[in-house]
Amino acid sequence: MELNGNQIDLDTLQRVANGNEAATLSSDARGRMAASRAAVEQIVAEGRTVYGVNTGFGKLSDIHIEPSQLQQLQLNLVRSHACGIGNPLSIPETRAMMLLRANVLSLGFSGARPEVAELLLAMLEKGITPIVPERGSVGASGDLAPLAHLALALIGEGDVIFEGIETSSRWALERCGLTPLVLEVKEGLALLNGTQAMGAVGGLAIARSMDFVDTANVAGAMSLEALMGTPAAFDPRIHEGRPHPGQIEVAAQLCRLMEGSEIRESHRTGDPRVQDAYCLRCMPQVHGAVKDALRHAREVVERESASATDNPLVFVETGEVISGGNFHGAPLAYVFDYAAIALCDLGAMIERRIDRLVNPDLNEGLPPFLAPHAGVSSGMMMAQVTAAAVLNECRVLAHPASSDNTPTSGGKEDHVSMGMTAALKLRRMVDNLEILVAIELMAAAQGLEYRKPLRPAPRIQSAHDSVRMIVTALEEDRPLGGEIERLAAAVRAGLFLSGQT
């Protein structure tokens, strides 16, 4: 792709993050960055006082810096702010952050030389991935600590992953024929101010979530078949009367999934059941609302990918440099919290279907806990217990990070977004939802074993066969934890999406 400051859609972000697409800086972007840089150099030459150019930072912004110390100012900024702790971001998350940061610089509001963005893109191309601790950002002046660790790698002082090993960035850069960056005036600040860490972590989590909901539809339809439910509630006429896009889309998908079901045909006439439980009947309303929430989050993330999130911003036309607050992470923090709340509710619905499959008081026609020899065998009793434990964690993660505020920087940054916390817990929420839907797939597939010789709908049979590639039918008790995790990995890989949507 050619980077020009335009919006980066989540599909593209994923491809670059996973190393499946390269990026170069467009000539237009290079021209804008050069003009912005010239404006900064003119300010220095004229001796004007401008925040971040020749002043201290945050609470220290009223301290004027002498010309002889301006380069040291930028270097000290990067070193001092590289204060992150905890596990490193994954390689895809860090690569996504690098792409997003380069794109923001390419807008030409940062005052950084084109060489800064080009080095980021060259590191992406060569597979040099900075080690960025995931904790330490409050998302106020942007993701200061994570972006400082990114910048530290650019100047040859940080550590990176290169060719599968952890090494110094200077060694990796030199091995690839790249020169570590020497920061000029304002370039340290241009690299640190922004929302690209939370945007990368949360954006990739949203992308995973979008695929996940379709898998949840497959698992829900399989549960409906195993429980001999009715797809009547998915009639398009019902959903046209309440035209939420996600609801209509999910209802149509569920109808397609159920086409040609022998199980459904076996009880179409004379079935005393008029309505199924909400966790089955209301899948379009709940799964669809989750889709709509995720779409809104995706729109915000993609808009942010092409937003100038520095401070101050350089306006070439007038030569002005104006301080503002575009680095504040509130827009992303809110939608990540919103997405987490929606996904938590989806998880609650999945857990209710799991319980309905195993609960002897609810799973009419199926053995207690789907056990082949109930009593002697416990079957999938503990699988539902595991689901309950995971759901409990989801409910904790659904608490909005953005509702908190802890002032920083001596009270100068007196309202912070906590957007990085929102992104990290959203990522954990998606991990948990993949486990929950894996348990549902396992239980629903086992339920279908007891409906033989009747066959489910062809698409559901295909999903059942995919489960059986990983987990064999339960014929006697065995440890299920490893099988759940393998199924969750298959969900993450999109195994259950092919031919289903």
Catalytic residues: 51
CA angle 280, 283, 287 (to 5 degrees): 145
Which pair of tokens denotes residue 305? 């990918």
CA dihedral 278, 393, 355, 438 (to 10 degrees): 100
d(CA 98, CA 116): 11
Q: Give CA–CA dist 26/260, Å, rounded.
A: 52
> CB–CB of 229/264 below 8 Å?
no
Strand partners, 130: 160
Q: Which residue has the tokens 């404006």?
A: 39
For the chain, the C-alpha Rg in angstroms (whole number) is: 26
In whole angstroms, give the CA distance from residue 35 to residue 317: 9
Give the list of residues 6+ apart from residue 205 with CB closer than 8 angstroms, or none: 336, 339, 423, 426, 427, 429, 430
Give which of 63, 60, 33, 69 is closest to 49, Cα–Cα: 63
159: helix, strand or coil: strand
What is the C-alpha separation between 347 and 398, in angstroms, rounded? 11
- CA-to-CA distance for 485 and 297, rounded, in angstroms? 28
H/E stretch holding 58 reads none
Q: Which residues pair with 165 in a beta bridge?
A: 162
**Those residues with Cβ within 8 angstroms of residue 317's Cβ, 6 or more apart along the chain or in another chain:** none
Site of tokens 């894996």: 438
Provide φ and ψ at 460, rounded to 5°: -70, -35
Contact 354/384 with Cβ under 8 angstroms? yes
Residue 452: CB atoms within 10 Å: 9
Tokens of 132: 């960025």
Would strands 24-25 and 2-3 be described as parallel, antiparallel, or unpaired? Answer: parallel
Neighbours of 459 (CB within 10 A): 21
72/55 Cα distance (integer angstroms): 12
